[in-house]
Amino acid sequence: MLKRRLIPKLQLGLSRSFRGARPVLVVSRQFDNRRPIGDPLSQAKIYEAQMADELILVDLERTSESWPMLLQTLESVAGALATPLAVGGGVRNFEQVQELLDRGADKVVLNSAAVRQPSLIDRIAGAYGSQCVVLSLDTRSNGSGGWQIWTDAGRLDGKREAVTWAQEAVDRGAGEVLATAIDRDGTGIGLDIALTRKLTQELGVPLTISGGCGLAEHFIEGYRAGAAAVAAGTFFAQRDQNPIQCRSHIHNAGISIRNCH
């Protein structure tokens, strides 16, 4: 039986010192207030040891300065781990997708670039298969029961309705959708369950929901609403609870999830 997935998110930022910039792991709140919390590679190894089902590695800086550091971090993580990796942040063109795949990404996470140039999805899916393309949606409520997408790390109005856009992206070849509720990010108040239900209903591909996990119960709510996977950054990074403990809560709630063998 296919298991639901539990996915720690590794968010990258840059730490600048007199020796130059280096990649650091950061947590954020509502896509803002980034706080450095450690080293990406060591944290990735810890997550693998704790049976993370997959890892999402995203560069929050998204600049030409941070891009080579994302590649370097990815290379070291992919070389050391045997865990599926979805990678993104700052991807603007097809060549960058190739760079990520060459360094060990299994899937590429597309957000702003797909909104600006939707045909990029068709091109990547055509060349590497749909399983390789994850459409990332950063959403805010539109105030009337729907959701709007925001691009550029939540700063710009994407001017598209979330569900319609996700459907278009899936039609173009996105194999998975990752949805993050911006206003819940880092708050621990729980996932956007209405959004989870809506996307699960409307999309024919697996959904990963993210933004707001503060308790194991929040993961359970996400799975019950239909999500194939729940992703969390702050929740695991703060070490209130590690993925193994969280997993046993989920298992005890009767949800099919990978067990420790």
Known catalytic residues are 138
192/19 Cα distance (integer angstroms):
41
Nearer of residues 24 and 78 to another protein, judged by Cβ: 78
Angstrom distance (rounded) from CA 162 to CA 230: 18
**Rounded least distance, CB 29 to another protein, Å:** 29
Binding site for another protein (CB under 8 A): 1-5, 48, 51, 53-54, 78-80, 82-84, 101-106, 127-132, 175-176, 203-206, 228-229, 258, 261
Contact, 40 vs 24, CB < 8 A? Answer: yes
Select 69 or 207, whichever has its Cβ closest to another protein.
207
Burial class for 62, CB neighbours closer than 10 Å (0-12, 13-18, 19+): buried
CB of 207 to another protein, least distance (A): 9
Cβ atoms 228, 206 nearer than 8 A: yes
For residues 206 and 81, what is the distance between their CA atoms, to the nearest angstrom? 24
Bridge partners for 110 per DSSP? 135
Report in angstroms how near the CB of residue 233 gets to another protein at its nearest: 20
Name the minimum Å distance from CB 257 to another protein: 9
Query: Looking at beta carbons only, is 75 or 161 nearer to another protein?
Result: 75
